Amino acid sequence: MDMELRPSQKQTITHQMIQSSEILQMNNMELEIYLQNLALENPLLDFEEPPEEDERKKEWLNALDEQNRVYERQERRDASDPWNLDTSMTETLEESLLLQLNSLNLPASKVFILKYLIQSLESSGYLTTPLDEIAKVCHCSLTETEEMLSVLQTLEPDGVGARTLSECLSIQLKKHYPAASLALSIVSDYLDLLGKNQIPAISRILHRSQKDILEACSLIRSLNPKPGSSFGDRHYMPYVRPELLIIRFDGYFDIILNDASIPSIRMNDYYLDLLKTDEAGETARYLKGKKEELEQINDSIRHRSSTLLSLGKLIVEHQQDFFLNGPGHLHTFLQSTAASILGVHESVISRAASDKYLQCQYGVFPLSYFFVQGRDNKEEIKKMIRDYIEKEDKAHPFSDQKLSDMFAADGLTVSKRLITKYRTALHIPPAGGRKVY
């Protein structure tokens, strides 16, 4: 038997490497919770008091003033939308309905059915569970269940307890606009045509003028299609804490690690002194192990910070057109390209970008948003579609074929099928849905 020795290289994955990868993948909130839990089991871990803001931080905070004004304007616009309220601190739909239930003079058996109906509602305010199933669970007749559903539908918000959009809108019309028979007819039988903006068709079917139909449709659109949307949800996480801040100055960008919420680690002086006085004992061996653990974690956190900053600088460098001009100006940029430039494995970039966010003057975006594969032409086409449609005559909107012809006139070959695909992705309705009568 011939034996041959062949030299080979084999990388050993250590516990420290695994730990470093895990910490790199954590977002700010996860890292903060991780360190707080670590403090419960490692007696050497102390947290430093956060330092006072230095001059550089004050400088970029001042530079954020204009951006903050942009965010404030956006928040005001969001707040003015009655169906887009900040629900993080409000009562839930269930709490509101149960509170109203206390003012009703109902026997206990009916209160039980009504409570079950309330607890069966979706967060939108709709009831999707069949009434016969509810009757079976509550050990009551279908008639009793229907009676309690009628009671539920008298409570606020208007439209709560509806089984369909048509029923939701009908409840609101009957309560506040009982004389609006035309609007009621439309929501009862012709919502599909209204959704397609087929005003002439509705006019012909109902033998009413387009002016009457438009007035009725305007009333319908003022109603709330999701009664529960203005209430809180205890499972809703309304806040994203970005890991990177991109501040635009005159002529350059500053990339800042947003790590103020992550406590800085330091070692407890008492236990360090104890370690020095009893270097050979069992206690010292335990403390030494905990000291090494903290040193490794500190190194991993520093590596995470360095990687995120380097990645942020690379994103700004390769997607500068976006940071200058906003969404719609992304260019091809692969994670493999970033890994090659930074001299790391592609998996490192993947972990660094995972569930992390970046805040700039245009809003908050996941880091993964900036890694684009072959989308230069796609984004440009989408932008042009949006521009063409914004400038169209709304009484005679462009068809997808017309948009394709307009691209051809500008020297670009874009098929009607591709126009339809990108327009749909932009959530822009077809020509019939954009027509203003």
Q: Domain residues of the chain, as ranges?
A: 53-82, 87-237, 241-261+292-369, 376-434
* Of 153, 85, 166, 147, residue with least CA distance to 121: 153
pLDDT value at position 70?
43
Is residue 138 left, alpha or beta, with left meaning phi > 0 and alpha meaning psi from -120 to 50? alpha
Q: Is 394 helix (H, G, I), strand (E, B) or coil?
A: coil
Q: What does pLDDT average to in each consecutive run of 10 residues of the chain (437 residues)?
A: 53 71 89 88 78 51 48 44 44 85 86 91 90 91 93 91 93 92 92 86 91 90 86 55 90 89 84 75 83 90 94 94 84 89 91 91 89 68 88 88 83 81 88 81
Helix (H/G/I), strand (E/B), else coil: 431: helix
Q: What is the C-alpha to C-alpha distance for residues 155 and 162, in angstroms, rounded to an integer?
A: 12
Asked whether 338 and 310 are in contact (CB, 8 A), the reply is no
Query: Which token pair is 435?
Result: 């027509």
Structure confidence at residue 358 (pLDDT): 93
pLDDT at residue 206, as a whole number = 92
Question: Span 87-237: which CATH code?
Answer: 1.10.10.1330
Write 107-116 long-range contacts (CB < 8 A, 24+): 109/140, 110/144, 110/147, 110/148, 110/151, 112/138, 113/138, 113/140, 113/144, 113/145, 113/148, 114/148, 114/151, 114/152
| pLDDT score for 62 | 54
Close Cβ partners of 249 (under 8 Å, ≥ 6 residues apart): 63
d(CA 254, CA 64): 11
Query: Please, what CATH class does the domain formed by 376-434 belong to?
Result: mainly alpha
Can you give the pLDDT at residue 282? 80
| 87-237 and 376-434 share one fold | yes
- What pLDDT is attached to residue 195? 83
Residue type (1 letter), 394: K
Rounded distance, CA 352 to CA 26, Å?
A: 8
Contact present, 384 and 376 (Cβ < 8 Å): no
* Cα 308 from Cα 355, distance rounded (Å): 12
Q: Rounded to an integer, what distance in angstroms lies between the CA atom of residue 223 and that of residue 220?
A: 6
pLDDT for res 59:
54
Q: Give the pair of three-digit tokens for residue 156.
A: 């606020």
Residue 217 tokens read as 């449709």
Peptide bond into 130 cis (omega under 30): no
Q: How far apart are the first and last CA of the chain?
A: 91
Residues 6+ apart with CB under 8 A from 177: 183, 219
